[in-house]
């Protein structure tokens, strides 16, 4: 294991690509002072703990943060590279949420009045003035054990009248996927970001909370061949609490989950459903988690990972096959070619039992126009 001083120097050296040489020297002073500061980590508070013989001008650090020659996007790219180095193989677990940064000044760009989730309760909503930030972080298990650590890899500012929280979150996830094109992700967020399941995020599995009154449906039924628009959803299902109430004891599975740095035993039941309002293109898996002791209420989650499930309402690949008409044998070659041209083309979906025969009715109409001696006897002919 490398000493802490050399590891810290290597981290600071990796950030040189986001700054110019003069700006990087000022950034190193601020970063070291940020670690050593014991009070509020403002510019003035960090300058106070710097070495007075080697520090720069006081206003140089203010100018660096306000209008310095450095790139925030490049700095996030360096942080992503450093954070992923401590993540093992397999999908990367990322967490997403928004927070309120209390900066009530009138001249603070982007400040507004937002709901304070810390001080608000179920019966009382508290608003505060500040910056509403959407934060995307990578979950890392520290080598010393205990609770996992969330290392931020992207931040976006939510403005009044601008992009929604879901749009900002989707942009952060797509940017992370561009920086790591060979990795898969598991995105964990609260119910406010459940709409990300229908955003088609690249190589990302979404895990979030499900509303207790969510309108759930069965899989999209197959096409009937009749006229009109096909159905987009199946039969209406009960609400998640009603579904959980109807599950018998033998259908629950006992699992061990991580909960704030410790392990807990829970009962789990899942079912594939269609949450049409959130993700109408594909099914999601409803997961009900129950406390075996009965002390805590049931939790309802969903995930877009169906464990290699093939959606019944998907559009599988199709291939063409030309059916041979009835009664073509014994005819001259020219007549056989005529019958083949007039026969219907049939689409068959691989992996289905009978295929998707879309041209059967048209084939029967065309064959009925041929003379009986060419098409042979059919079930529609009189005895």
Q: pTM of this prediction?
A: 0.72
Cα–Cα distance, 210 to 303 (Å, whole number): 9
* HSE-CB of 119 using CA atoms within 13 angstroms: 10
For the chain, the farthest-separated pair of C-alpha atoms sits apart, in whole angstroms, at 112
Token readout for 109 is 């760009």
pLDDT at 8 over 90: no
Cα–Cα distance, 335 to 333 (Å, whole number): 5
Cα–Cα distance, 263 to 24 (Å, whole number): 43
CA distances from 172 to 135, 137, 146 (A): 9, 10, 28
Cβ neighbors of 178 (< 8 A, separation 6 or more) are: none
Cα–Cα distance, 357 to 345 (Å, whole number): 9
Token readout for 350 is 């691989």
pLDDT at 327 over 80: no
Question: How far is CA 351 from its chain centroid?
Answer: 28
- The mean per-residue pLDDT over the stretch 286-302 comes to 91
| End-to-end CA gap in the chain | 92
**Confidence (pLDDT) at 10:** 87
pLDDT at 235 over 50: yes
Cβ neighbors of 253 (< 8 A, separation 6 or more) are: 267, 268, 269
Degrees (nearest 5) of the Cα angle 373, 374, 377? 65
pLDDT in tens, 81-123: 888 888 888 899 999 999 998 888 888 888 889 988 888 888 8
Helices and strands in the chain, H and E counts: 10, 12
| Range of weakest confidence among 138-152, 285-299, 311-325 | 311-325
User: Is 128 in contact with 219 (CB distance < 8 Å)?
Assistant: no
State the DSSP code for 274: B
**Confidence (pLDDT) at 335:** 52
DSSP string, 294-318: S-S--EEEEES--SSPPPTTS----
Instruction: Please choose, from the candidates 217, 191, 202, the residue with its C-alpha nearest in 3D space to the C-alpha of residue 302.
Output: 191
b/e sequence 153-186, b meaning 16+ C-beta within 10 Å: bbbbebeeeeeebbbbbbbbbebbbeebeeeebb
DSSP string, 312-341: TTS----EEEEPPPTT-TTS-HHHHHHHHH
Domain boundaries, the chain: 4-70, 73-209, 319-375
> At 78, is the secondary structure helix, strand, or coil?
helix
pLDDT at 313 over 60: no
Question: In the chain, what percentage of residues exceed pLDDT 90?
Answer: 33
> At 91, is the secondary structure helix, strand, or coil?
coil
Output 194 or 352, whichever has higher pLDDT. 194
User: Is 310 in contact with 341 (CB distance < 8 Å)?
Assistant: no
- pLDDT-derived band at 355 (thresholds 50, 70, 90) equals very low
Question: How far is CA 263 from its chain centroid?
Answer: 26
Cα–Cα distance, 243 to 214 (Å, whole number): 12
State the DSSP code for 70: B
- Return the residue matching tokens 């360096």: 78
CA distances from 276 to 230, 237, 376 (A): 15, 12, 49
- pLDDT-derived band at 286 (thresholds 50, 70, 90) equals very high
Which secondary-structure segment (H or E) carries 285?
A: strand 284-290
φ and ψ of 345, to 5 deg:
-90, 130
What are residue 188's DSSP bridge partners? 95, 207
Token readout for 351 is 């992996």
Token readout for 260 is 């704030």
């Amino acid at each position: 294991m490398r000493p802490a001083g050399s590891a810290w120097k290597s981290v600071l050296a990796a950030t040189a690509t986001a700054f110019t040489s003069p700006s990087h020297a000022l950034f190193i002073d601020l970063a070291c002072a940020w670690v050593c500061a014991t009070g509020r980590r403002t510019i003035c508070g960090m300058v106070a703990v710097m070495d007075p013989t080697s520090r720069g001008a006081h206003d140089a650090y203010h100018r660096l943060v306000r209008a310095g020659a450095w790139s925030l996007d490049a700095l996030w790219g360096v942080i992503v590279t450093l954070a992923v180095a401590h993540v093992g193989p397999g999908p990367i677990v990322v967490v997403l949420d928004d927070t309120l940064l209390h900066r009530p000044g009138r001249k603070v760009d982007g400040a507004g009045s937002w709901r304070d989730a810390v001080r608000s309760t179920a019966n009382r909503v508290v608003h505060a003035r500040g910056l509403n930030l959407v934060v995307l972080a990578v979950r890392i298990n520290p080598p010393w054990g205990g609770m996992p650590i969330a290392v931020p890899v992207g931040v976006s500012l939510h403005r009044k009248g601008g992009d929604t929280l879901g749009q900002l979150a989707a942009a952060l996830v797509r940017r992370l996927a561009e920086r790591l094109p060979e990795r898969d992700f598991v995105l964990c967020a609260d119910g406010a970001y459940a709409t990300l399941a229908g955003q088609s995020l690249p190589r990302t599995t979404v895990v979030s909370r499900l509303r207790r009154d969510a309108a759930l449906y069965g899989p999209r039924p197959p096409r009937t061949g009749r006229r009109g628009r096909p159905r987009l959803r199946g039969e209406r299902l009960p609400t998640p609490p009603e579904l959980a109430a109807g599950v018998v004891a033998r259908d629950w599975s006992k699992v061990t989950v991580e909960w704030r740095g410790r392990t807990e035993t829970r009962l789990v039941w899942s079912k594939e459903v269609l949450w049409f309002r959130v993700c109408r293109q594909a099914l999601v898996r409803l997961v009900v988690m129950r406390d075996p002791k009965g002390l805590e209420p049931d939790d309802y989650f969903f995930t877009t990972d169906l464990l290699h499930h093939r959606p019944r309402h998907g559009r599988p690949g199709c291939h063409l096959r030309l059916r041979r008409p009835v009664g073509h044998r014994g005819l001259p070659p020219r007549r056989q070619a005529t019958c083949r041209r007039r026969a219907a083309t049939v689409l068959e979906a691989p992996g289905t039992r009978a295929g998707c025969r879309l041209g059967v009715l048209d084939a029967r109409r065309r064959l009925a126009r041929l003379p009986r001696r060419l098409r042979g006897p059919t079930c529609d002919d009189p005895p």
